[in-house]
Amino acid sequence: MLHVSDDGSGQREVIARKLKREAEVWSKLKHNNILPFIGVCIDLAPSPVLISPFYEFGHVGSYLEEHPQINRGDIVRGVTSGLQYLHNNEIIHGDLKLQNVLVDKRGIPCICDFGISKIVNRAGFTTASVGTVPYMAPELFLVLDKNATEIYHPTTTKASDVYSFGLLVLEILTSEMLKGRPRQPIITLNIFENLHPKRADYDTEIVSDEIWGVLEQCWDFEPHGRPNISQIARRLEPLL
C-alpha cells in the first residue's frame, strides 16, 4: 500500500506519478501468482492508496519460518509461474526478493510490489531504480576500479530479473540469508568478481547439485548468457 506524503507539492506530484504508474502496471495483471489489485482509494487516508487483499501470512520468508515442512518446490513453482506471466506480458519486475512474494491463505505465493516495474519498449515506463542491492545482477553495480568503456546507466531487464530469481529460489529452498552479497550498489572489483554464490556455502541435501546447476545458469555474469524464465522453468520442474 503506497501513501502519498504531504511534504511539498513537488514531492507529492512525483510520488503521485509513481503511484499512477504502479497502478497502471499492476491493474492489468491477472494471474494466480500475482497479488490481486483491488483499486485506488482516495478517501480512506489523507492521501491516495493502492488497495490489495491482506495476506496474514506475510512474505514467503515469514511463512516458511512458521511452516518449515511445507513443500518448497511448490513455492518455487508458483514464483516461477508468476515471473513467466510477467515476462510473457513484457513486464520487468525489477525488484524480486523475499519480501516481494506474499503467501495467501491457501499457501500460494504471489509476487507483489510493482513500484519500479516497467513495460518493455513502452515510453514512460523506465526507472532509475535498479532494485534491492543484495539481489542485484552484476551489470547493475557500479564497480569502482573496473575499466569502464561506457557511461554507467544501469537498467533492469528480464535477464536481471532472472538473476534475482535465482537468488530468491536459493533463499526459499534454504531459509538462509544470502551469503556474501553486497549491501551497497557501489563496489570494488574484488567484490564484483566474487558475487557468484559459492556451492560450498550450501548443503547438497537441501540444494541438490542438479538444482544448483540450473541456478548457476541464472547467475551468469553476462546477461545474454542467462536462460529466459521459461527455459529455467522447464529445467527446474523435474528437479523440484
Annotated catalytic residues are: 95
DSSP-derived secondary structure letter, 204: T
- What is the spatial distance between Cα 32 and Cα 234, in angstroms, rounded to a whole number? 19
**Dihedral of alpha carbons 195, 200, 206, 211, sign:** positive
Other beta carbons less than 10 A from residue 107's beta carbon: 14
Q: Record the cell numbers describing residue 104, joined without a space.
A: 495467501
- What is the spatial distance between Cα 205 and Cα 175, in angstroms, rounded to a whole number? 14
Tell me if 155 sits within 8 A of 118, measured CB to CB.
no
Q: DSSP characters for 219-237?
A: T-SSGGGSPPHHHHHHHHG
Which one, of 176, 184, 215, lies nearest residue 197 by Cα? 215
